[in-house]
Amino acid sequence: MSPYPHHEEPAKEAVITLIGIGNAGVNITDRLAMRAALPIRTIALNSDQQSLTASVASKKLVLGPMTTHGLGAGGDPERAIDAAKESLGELQEAVSGSDVVILCAGLGGGTGSAVTPLLAKMAKEKGALVVGVVTSPFQFEGRRRSQQAAESLAELKRHVDALIHFENDRMAELVEPRADVSETFAACDGLLFQAIGGIVRMLGNPGPLPIAVNDLLSVLRAGAGGCLFGCGESEGGNRAHESLEQALRSPLLDRGRLLQEAGKILVHLSGPASLTFAEVAAVMREISKNTSASANLCLGVSTAGDDSAPLIVTIIGRTGVEERKSAPAPSVAIPSISTPPPAAPAPPVEDKVIEDPEVASPTTKTQKVKQDFLPLEPIARGRFERSEPTIVEGEDLDVPTFLRLKIKK
Amino acid sequence: MAKEKIHVGLEIGTTKVCAVVAECGRDGEIRLLGVGESPSRGVRKGEIVDFQNASKCVHDALADAEERSDQEIKSVWLAVTGSHLESFNNRSSSSLAEESEITEKEIGDVEYKAKEISIPKENVILHSIIQRYYVDGQEGVIDPLGMLGTKLEADYHIIHGVMTRIQNTIRCVKEFDIDVDDVVVNSVASAQVVLSDSQKQAGAVVIDIGGGVTDYIVYHDGVVRHSGAIAIGGDHITNDLCIGLRIPITRAEKLKIEEGSAMVGGHPPGEKITLRNDTGFSGKEVDRELLNMIINARVNELFKILKKRIHEVVPEHLLGSGVLLTGGCSMLRGVREVAEMIFDSPVTLVHAHSVSGPTSAFENPQLSTCIGLVKYAQAVNADMPEETIMSKFKKLLNFNLGL
């Protein structure tokens, strides 16, 4: 279409492959394939024939039909490894030919725990960018599974470029205590689904304001600290505020409070063609209000061709990492939306990103776990719920001041 | 106009609808005859959201006023407010053919030109208030009528608002076959009775904190310099308490009035207030510190926003007479002190003065706007140069509103 030859163009159309491994992984893959029309290849990979039969992934792969007879690894990583060895060729084929490989699995079981690190290694060798999106099991699933998950996670970290790790225990906070089991699992799956959708959107972001892959990697880098993630989508007149509110309500953000601790935050807005600059500005203002002064905010915006698309706000961040690296953090607040504060030593350089050491810090970890919920969030606007909001400088003044200023504990 | 004239001021507020009937003597004296009130329903943030309920309340208030004053109400002066109101200052100029005498026509011209500015097409100009004239560059001309010159310029303060919203308020009254003499913006009305001429000269801010809306107006050198409205009021405090303390909205309102203060501290730490149980409410102990903290946060924020808005237009040092607070919510404990801290200048609680009648009525800051309407009506009707402007403006308004 363009009269000028764009040599860079083909490279930008990155081939993204999503591989769901194990029961949990296949589940997510299915959800993605059904609910979101994302421009990606999906591969379902399991040693359990039954779960694959039900799957709608574009490609299915039974692991070690001879070893497990299609009956699954039975939670035994050894068995899964054997099965993987049997299907090594198919695995190689699955990971080749992609620029980005997203591995999705629930750790703790057999297939997921054993095969995911293996695949990550193989994909890395093929030169692909590897992103892991994994969950660790619920506490009540027992020590053995937790142990397996921890080992697998450590192994995985050595091979992937980026890792998003969700603890199921925390995700369970998404739902009310009285929600039934399937609802809880569905909510956990939903969060994973959102995370992958968000990453794919960021990677395949056509603009007008793309997020640099380096930025994405430095945030998602398989390092220490907690992963912050929030995603919200909304349509209609107040979509900017609504979608942001949803995103901030994510338990992985603790209603935006964990953003305070984040060193680097990616914000991605994907919206319809009618997305206005004012909406983007309003969202960013609101987010920058929740972040620490030294945080490095990266903004990406992509717009769809038509007006029917909803506005999706995705926030991804990582606690601690960068702040810990920086020398004494600048005490002067540098309020900025588009320009990241120069004082924050963000490492946008690729090699720095990759060899960056894992700055493990137990403090951020514990902080992350003991997050508590604000008891008031469902009625933030109270009796003004249905009236025209009083917006002054992008702030909804109908929300009680003490909540906005976070005065009350 | 040999006779004394009866004027009625009506305000459809967020908390209550009130009507003031007053007798205006030719010497400028205003005597209150009666005040009718009705709790308001169907009004949010100063604007009507439920027409049926709101007009019923208007009816009740007017009937009450008729009964108390023993007068039949035929027409009212109506106060309007809401976040849709906007204002700005505009200068216009008009050249005279030769060096000739400035007549009413030229003055009319210059005002017409001042209003020829781009406001959103759904808006209508409510007030164009003269600030000052310049004749051939000479500043500080108060009345150019009869002066000689080649060029007449004028600064106007213009207040405009969304036409349909104003029409809704008017229709609420017209339901009962009562005429609307004119609509007046809340802050303009309030300023009529709470500010003295000397305060207008020295510079003063009037802040009218109502239930749903806070109106403000700034005077300096005897003229309006800035005005506006922000949709935050006592309702917001109540709502904050309802959410923060988890109590029903009616209890929150009562607690705010009986116990609440915008000042934190000054009470023993850990002091509790016991709310007695009631139907559908099992009673609760409320921490006084938390109560006051919630109110303080809201009031603090409100004044900060106001300060910012006011100082954008009028520098602080020009406000010699400081800040005057009125409106129902100004009666809340500690509000004055918070305002004093934020504005860093003397703050006084004011109510209508220069009227006579039942003291309890005019000393009530809730009635400032209503009494102000009557005063405004009297000023318009009195034989003053203002009349020509106002009647013209009224014609224009009526035309615009299609009344």
pLDDT at B324: 92
Q: What is the largest CA-CA distance in chain B?
A: 81
Give A254 to chain B, closest Cα distance, Å: 19
**Closest of B68, B56, B67 to residue B12, by C-alpha:** B56
A188-197, B39-48, B300-309: segment of lowest average pLDDT:
A188-197
What confidence tens digit (pLDDT) does each residue in B338-369 have? 999 999 889 998 887 766 666 666 678 888 89
**Residue with more model confidence, A370 or A263:** A263
CB contact under 8 Å between B239 and A408, yes or no, is: no
Q: Which residues of chain A make contact with B49, given a CB cutoff of 8 A?
A: 387
**Which of B45, B215, B308 best probes binding to A when mutated, by most A CB atoms within 10 angstroms?**
B45
Average pLDDT for B76-96 = 88
The sheet with strand B123-135 has its strands ordered as B86-101, B148-162, B123-135, B138-141
pLDDT at A194: 77
Helix axes B234-245, B249-258, angle to 10 degrees: 110
Average pLDDT for A144-154 = 81
Angle, CA of B203, B204 and B205, to the nearest 5°: 140
Give A183 to chain B, closest Cα distance, Å: 29
CB contact under 8 Å between A376 and B244, yes or no, is: yes
Q: Which residues of chain A make contact with B165, given a CB cutoff of 8 A?
A: none
**Closest of B309, B300, B268, B305 to residue B287, by C-alpha:** B268
Average pLDDT for B10-23 = 91
pLDDT at B10: 94
Average pLDDT for B299-311 = 92
A20-29, A356-365, B224-233, B302-311: segment of lowest average pLDDT:
A356-365
The sheet with strand A129-136 has its strands ordered as A59-62, A41-46, A16-21, A100-106, A129-136, A162-167
Count the alpha carbons within 13 Å of A37 in the hemisphere toward its beta carbon: 2
Taking the C-alpha atoms of residue A327 and residue B46, their distance in angstroms, rounded to an integer, is: 52
pLDDT at A334: 36
Given CB atoms, is A378 within the 8 Å cutoff of chain B?
Answer: no
Q: Give me chain B's average pLDDT, please.
A: 85
pLDDT at B20: 92
Average pLDDT for A306-330 = 61
CB contact under 8 Å between B249 and A376, yes or no, is: no
Q: Which residues of chain B make contact with A398, given a CB cutoff of 8 A?
A: 236, 239
Question: Residue B266 — very low, low, confident or very high, per pLDDT cuts 50/70/90?
Answer: confident
pLDDT at A116: 84
How far the first Cα of chain B sits from its last, in Å, is 26
Q: Which among A397, A402, A405 is the nearest to B232, CB-wise?
A: A397
Average pLDDT for A322-336 = 37
CB contact under 8 Å between A401 and B297, yes or no, is: yes
**Closest of B84, B188, B170, B83 to residue B127, by C-alpha:** B188
Assembly ipTM: 0.76
Whether B240 shows a pLDDT value over 50: the answer reads: yes
Taking the C-alpha atoms of residue B104 and residue B102, their distance in angstroms, rounded to an integer, is: 7
**Residue with more model confidence, A303 or A335:** A303
**Which of B15, B84, B239 best probes binding to A when mutated, by most A CB atoms within 10 angstroms?**
B239
pLDDT at B323: 92
Q: Which residues of chain A make contact with B240, given a CB cutoff of 8 A?
A: 382, 400-402
A30-39, A317-326, A377-386, B332-341: segment of lowest average pLDDT:
A317-326
**Residue with more model confidence, A384 or A174:** A384
B84-88, B196-200, B361-365, B391-395: segment of lowest average pLDDT:
B391-395
Average pLDDT for A16-33 = 80
**Which of A402, A407, A408 best probes binding to B when mutated, by most B CB atoms within 10 angstroms?**
A402
**Residue with more model confidence, A342 or B216:** B216
Three-state secondary structure string covering chain B: CCCCEEEEEEEECCCEEEEEEEEECCCCCEEEEEEEEEECCCEECCEECCHHHHHHHHHHHHHHHHHHHCCCCCEEEEEECCCCCEEEEEEEEEEEEEEEECCHHHHHHHHHHHCCCCCCCCEEEEEEEEEEEEECCEEEECCCCCCEEEEEEEEEEEEEEEHHHHHHHHHHHHCCCCEEEEEEEHHHHHHHHHCCHHHHHHCEEEEEECCCCEEEEEEECCEEEEEEEECCCHHHHHHHHHHHHCCCHHHHHHHHHHCCECCCCCCCCCCEEEECCECCECCEEEEHHHHHHHHHHHHHHHHHHHHHHHHHHCCHHHCCCCEEEECHHHHCECHHHHHHHHHCCCEEECCCCCCECCHHHHCCHHHHHHHHHHHHHHHHHCCCHHHHHHHHHHHHHHHHHCC
Q: Is A183 helix (H, G, I), strand (E, B) or coil?
A: helix
Whether B225 shows a pLDDT value over 60: the answer reads: yes
Q: Which residues of chain B make contact with A380, given a CB cutoff of 8 A?
A: 243
Q: Which among A383, A387, A402 is the nearest to B297, CB-wise?
A: A402
Q: B187 — phi, psi (to 5°)?
A: -65, -35
Alpha-carbon torsion, ordered A64, A66, A68, A71, to 10 deg: 100
Q: Give the rounded percent of residues in chain B with a pLDDT score beyond 70.
A: 92
**Residue with more model confidence, B255 or A314:** B255
Question: Residue B391 — very low, low, confident or very high, per pLDDT cuts 50/70/90?
Answer: low
Domains, chain A, ranges and CATH? Answer: 13-203 (3.40.50.1440), 222-343 (3.40.50.1440), 379-409 (no CATH)
- The contact set of B with A (CB < 8 A) is 44-45, 49, 83, 230-232, 235-236, 239-240, 242-244, 246, 249, 290, 293-294, 297-298, 300-301, 305
What confidence tens digit (pLDDT) does each residue in A360-398 have? 333 333 334 444 444 444 456 777 776 777 777 777 888
pLDDT at B185: 93
pLDDT at B229: 92
pLDDT at B294: 92
The residue type of A404 is R
What confidence tens digit (pLDDT) does each residue in B126-146 have? 998 888 888 888 887 888 888
**Closest of B109, B85, B97, B103 to residue B144, by C-alpha:** B103
**Closest of A173, A124, A123, A129 to residue A368, by C-alpha:** A173
pLDDT at B38: 92
Q: Which residues of chain B make contact with A400, given a CB cutoff of 8 A?
A: 236, 239-240, 243-244, 294, 297-298
Q: Which among A383, A398, A402 is the nearest to B293, CB-wise?
A: A402
Whether A54 shows a pLDDT value over 60: the answer reads: yes
pLDDT at A222: 47
Q: B339 — phi, psi (to 5°)?
A: -60, -40
> Which span out of A144-158, A220-234, B297-311 was modeled with the highest average pLDDT?
B297-311
Whether B64 shows a pLDDT value over 90: the answer reads: yes
**Residue with more model confidence, B130 or A41:** B130
Sign of CA dihedral B161, B164, B165, B170: positive
What confidence tens digit (pLDDT) does each residue in A227-246 have? 677 888 887 777 777 788 77
pLDDT at A343: 40
Domains, chain B, ranges and CATH? Answer: 86-158 (3.30.1490.110)
pLDDT at A27: 79
Taking the C-alpha atoms of residue B192 and residue B188, their distance in angstroms, rounded to an integer, is: 7
Average pLDDT for A184-203 = 75
Q: Give me chain A's average pLDDT, please.
A: 70
Whether A193 shows a pLDDT value over 50: the answer reads: yes
**Which of B83, B236, B309 best probes binding to A when mutated, by most A CB atoms within 10 angstroms?**
B236
Q: Give the rounded percent of residues in chain B with a pLDDT score beyond 90.
A: 32
Burial label for A63, CB within 10 Å (0-12, 13-18, 19+), is buried
Whether B402 shows a pLDDT value over 60: the answer reads: no
CB contact under 8 Å between A387 and B45, yes or no, is: yes
Whether A337 shows a pLDDT value over 70: the answer reads: no
The size of the A-B interface in CB pairs under 8 A is 68
pLDDT at B30: 83
CB contact under 8 Å between A401 and B298, yes or no, is: yes
Q: Which among B244, B246, B249 is the nearest to A400, CB-wise?
A: B244
